Structure 1
């Protein structure tokens, strides 16, 4: 771990380890600042965009990168992961499969992986467990709606933040399955958090993630695994035998036991669905899942707040030639792989960190743009304040020994099989206010402010709809109502507004309401006209189906998977007082 004050203006305990001699110093225009994790698929590095926002960049292992089949699967899985939209997920924001070594980038935000929180602070109180499970279930709904099964849900892949839990590393492990099986005969996953079907090597589906979430709930509430003590392989064997010998749940809280029983059913068809599970948790908690006021115990909340402050510190200014010469003479950053305070990289600008911050600059190509053949543009998807996106790592049964992979953590830099994460940052030195103060005369009170919300091309001749009151993007085929925007990639693509939308001259509720009512946009905008009609910097407003006031600030526009461009926005929702 870096001990001398940190990298790029971030505190050392948030950053990780110094770069080693064998580590690259730049990947596709991203300057690498520190090593923040290592796992079964590759090594994760801290970098910064040109706008100063930290990102976690995972460079895939050479043996995987040398397999053309892996590259194809990797491209497919990353493209699928980029379509995931919803709160409590931290998505992939950039990637390239064409270079010497494939890589993917995730936004980086300070937070605490669940396994670290449990180690440092002990089990969570029941209300926090219910909120943890309910919000994670909502994240799984979004992931499954995109046709993805997480396959490696475990405490290190759930990040705690002041704005709730977030799920990381979804879907990408599947790209390595065939390669890993060919190389070692192993199974991708973490044994003690597998489902019975996964442990038996059978096909997995969304229900396998529900089983894993049930195990996580049990551990979070008590610090004990429901299948008892033992090593990873011992627990995996007991899980595989669930149909004959189910776990004993009689020692768990009466409010938690029914939830565990429905998650940990041996038959996948008998397990509770993610939407029902979220609703069950909300009822049991007696408060909305999106209310995070005091949701974590004070010592843990204090720990998270310190991490957020450290990560929100602005990066140092770009050094002059003289500065660089002085650094070299002092050995602050030399050929030996050591790294002292480092200026921001010349990477692409990433607009879409999930915290309240001024809109970052629009996309600017990296200095090494020529090296980024085939890379997609940066896109932001829904996550909220203070998350750590740990690009999770996979565990191979062929390499027994428990959670042995080192992961991309933001905290201590000591890899644990549960992985530390890299997540979405903000580039402002001022932390967000999760509970904005009411406006004076507008008659509206903020529900939340400046949450990252992605309006992405659904691709594949598909249609999705955005409900800003929840907020959530509903996938194709879902039966929904009360949506404000429809994104269609059919017949050249278009946005269709379900409620009257207009452009606002400012960001106060009064200005937003005036824009929604006075500067009304057409009900449909074709894909070819979107960038012109709604450019970066536009503030869009509407009164939602439920009578709330929604404000979208456009922070970035990139090429989408279909005919529509992808929009990164910050969403603020006001309700009537």
Structure 2
């Protein structure tokens, strides 16, 4: 993470920028904070793309689609705007190390951890694909590793660049070493393209070896494109990894597993539950991540050093030199989620050090509790887990073989470039004296704007709703109706399941079919922010239920009918040694 330079903007649509996280093919990424003092990574799109009306249209479509993606192991898009001088996109800021940095600093992960990572990433892809989005650029730098598992970032946005003058003359967006054969051949893509990319990640994650070798990007892409004629030799890979690779790296997209099928396979082969993250990482990696999480929790702000000049013009014309290429295992080529591999700086991983010479301002007040997040006013977006730390949106503009390369790279499976083209992403025109619409709705200094009236439409409010212990089997709860459904009922609209496991006193569990996050507030805006943030485990056993589901808890989630549900636990009563929960349920239609 670097201090802001003289060419960097100080504010974008009311978001005060604190530091530069990185830059690459599509733009520059900056650290900022929401009105509630929660960190976000804000990506400002390059002027070359911003000048293309078709890009703006596609970017708006893709950003809206990305906002609909919610689930476990997903880093969500929380805000965006396409109307200003340069489009921008904000995502949550998550503690952890990018997978390519983990591989560069610590080497391959143990096989069980690699399989668990692959299974969790497949779960994330299930959520991405369910929302009608294809990632298109899945690679090690787009997978963050944390103490609570891996997180997939930057899903779908790369597609917007396909519409620009920069790429439509035969070029396209993606990372050659992690493309599917159909992507490398320029064919239409289906969700199966992401499964192929994930298989390549699994191979590199577990062994450090790419199935198509460590040659340059063009060579590897050409080999991938030729998979149907000459598939990779998978015999050097150990079982059970080889089984996963054989499924994922099938030349025929229809022969590859679904994300859910791959997740189940990885759980079976790894020998542990996918969401059992106790001791899942090697000690050195876990210690590094724990250190970053501690730094993130302490909440220091990284700010502009005095040399940068507080009055520097918005988007002044100085260009930044490119970052030195790294030497790690990852092959990401855009705005990476870490420094050039091997620099050992902590880079744009969460909890990165304050840049040398950067003053640390006095605290802006206590940070909101973990999982309690306040967004800019009128947040028309769906959120997932908001965790203090560091995230970078990574989108690389590259082309393969005979297509025009948007950046020069010879990175194979063992090389990585983390920087973008010099001067390609920092230039931003000066703002007009009149605030933009997006700025008026964003966390500008001073009194924040109130949420727009009528943004959320109440379907029902404060309805008494009981989660009663089932005498046999399980009970399903539909929060849209709302109603309880017995064993055997259609579960397609179920958000919560209360399960009876037998006659033993503590043999019960609560299952959440959609991520539910704890909220510190009962406004729809704050509830939506919390939906998926600090999410409860998808399965709570008896001891966890007793500890976590207590009076005063406010749970928020997005229902199967795409509405915002808020459940306030008002009481807990005894039902022959098992708890019945009394709640008040509110449902909103979202803007």
TM-score range, shorter chain: 0.5 to 0.7
Partner of 2:318: none
Answering whether residue 393 of structure 2 is matched by residue 402 of structure 1, we say no
What is the DSSP-based 3-state SS (H/G/I as helix, E as strand, rest coil) of the residue aligned with 1:187?
A: coil
Deviations 1:122-168 (A, max 9, x none): 11110111101000000000000000000000000001000000100
Q: How far does residue 500 in structure 1 lie from its aligned partner after superposition?
A: 10
What is the DSSP-based 3-state SS (H/G/I as helix, E as strand, rest coil) of the residue aligned with 2:157?
A: coil
2:394 to 371, 387, 392: 392
Alignment of 1:97-496 (within 5 A): 97-180=82-165, 182=167, 185-315=170-300, 334-335=310-311, 340-341=358-359, 343=361, 357=370, 359-360=372-373, 362-363=374-375, 365=377, 376-377=379-380, 379-382=382-385, 388-397=390-399, 398-399=404-405, 401-402=408-409, 415=419, 484-487=477-480
Answering whether residue 49 of structure 2 is matched by residue 64 of structure 1, we say yes
8 Å contact 1:160–1:387 — kept in the other structure? no
8 Å contact 1:46–1:55 — kept in the other structure? yes
What is the DSSP-based 3-state SS (H/G/I as helix, E as strand, rest coil) of the residue aligned with 2:36?
A: coil
What is the DSSP-based 3-state SS (H/G/I as helix, E as strand, rest coil) of the residue aligned with 1:258?
A: helix
Q: Distance in 1 between matches of 2:102 and 2:541?
A: 37
**Change over 3 Å in CA distance of 1:482–1:341 after alignment to 2:** farther
Q: How far does residue 50 in structure 1 lie from its aligned partner after superposition?
A: 2.9
Q: Distance in 2 between matches of 1:287 and 1:157?
A: 24
What is the DSSP-based 3-state SS (H/G/I as helix, E as strand, rest coil) of the residue aligned with 2:164?
A: helix
What is the DSSP-based 3-state SS (H/G/I as helix, E as strand, rest coil) of the residue aligned with 1:116?
A: helix
Q: Distance in 1 between matches of 2:530 and 2:178?
A: 44
TM-score (norm 1): 0.65
What is the DSSP-based 3-state SS (H/G/I as helix, E as strand, rest coil) of the residue aligned with 1:173?
A: helix
Deviations 1:309-348 (A, max 9, x none): 1122134699xxxxxxxx99x75854469972354999xx
8 Å contact 1:483–1:545 — kept in the other structure? no
Deviations 1:62-98 (A, max 9, x none): 1212222211111111111111111101010011111
8 Å contact 1:482–1:545 — kept in the other structure? no
Q: Distance in 2 between matches of 1:331 and 1:416?
A: 24
Q: How far does residue 23 in structure 1 lie from its aligned partner after superposition?
A: 1.1
8 Å contact 1:193–1:215 — kept in the other structure? yes
What is the DSSP-based 3-state SS (H/G/I as helix, E as strand, rest coil) of the residue aligned with 1:46?
A: strand
8 Å contact 2:134–2:191 — kept in the other structure? yes
Q: Distance in 1 between matches of 2:249 and 2:108?
A: 20
Question: How many residue pairs align between the two structures?
Answer: 432
What is the DSSP-based 3-state SS (H/G/I as helix, E as strand, rest coil) of the residue aligned with 2:197?
A: helix
What is the DSSP-based 3-state SS (H/G/I as helix, E as strand, rest coil) of the residue aligned with 1:159?
A: strand
8 Å contact 1:227–1:239 — kept in the other structure? yes
8 Å contact 1:111–1:160 — kept in the other structure? yes
**Change over 3 Å in CA distance of 1:482–1:170 after alignment to 2:** farther
Q: Distance in 1 between matches of 2:91 and 2:67?
A: 10
Q: How far does residue 39 in structure 1 lie from its aligned partner after superposition?
A: 1.5
Partner of 1:29: 14
Q: Distance in 1 between matches of 2:568 and 2:230?
A: 49
Partner of 2:426: none
8 Å contact 2:3–2:302 — kept in the other structure? no
What is the DSSP-based 3-state SS (H/G/I as helix, E as strand, rest coil) of the residue aligned with 2:31?
A: strand
Q: How far does residue 19 in structure 1 lie from its aligned partner after superposition?
A: 1.3
1:54 to 10, 24, 39: 39
Q: How far does residue 286 in structure 1 lie from its aligned partner after superposition?
A: 1.2
Superposed CA RMSD: 4.6
Deviations 1:372-423 (A, max 9, x none): xxx844542146x67743201223212253388xxxxxxx996489xxxxxx
Q: Distance in 1 between matches of 2:86 and 2:290?
A: 36
Partner of 1:89: 74
Q: Distance in 2 between matches of 1:200 and 1:236?
A: 9
TM-score (norm 2): 0.63
Q: How far does residue 17 in structure 1 lie from its aligned partner after superposition?
A: 1.1
Q: Distance in 2 between matches of 1:142 and 1:277?
A: 14
Q: Distance in 2 between matches of 1:259 and 1:500?
A: 31
Q: Distance in 2 between matches of 1:566 and 1:62?
A: 39
8 Å contact 1:49–1:344 — kept in the other structure? no
Deviations 1:281-310 (A, max 9, x none): 111111110100110111111111111111
Greater CA drift, 543-552 or 72-81: 543-552
